[in-house]
Amino acid sequence: MQNQEIIKIIENLKGRRGYEEKKATKLGFTSLYAYFEDKISKEKQAIKKQKKELEEIKSDTSLVKKEKKSCSCC
């Protein structure tokens, strides 16, 4: 099953197609499709990782705020 998003990306390369083909070959991919498939999956993983880190930071800051409010003088 081919991803339509990847096919559209390849169709819209125009003048950069040669460059992208050389890059894909250099990195060991057998086709442009495989190269862009890998590239998109890595981008999605990076986005998930950033969201997870952001959630951890938010939870850490909420814990710090709660600890500061627990003093008896406030």
Binned at pLDDT 50, 70 and 90, residue 65 comes out as low
pLDDT in tens, 27-53: 999 999 999 999 999 999 999 999 999
Closest CA to 28 of 40, 13, 38, 18: 38
What does the pLDDT look like over 13-32, one tens digit per residue?
999 999 999 999 999 999 99
Mean pLDDT of 50-74: 72
Amino acid residing at 52: K
Question: How much is the pTM?
Answer: 0.69
Sign, CA torsion 28/29/31/33 = negative
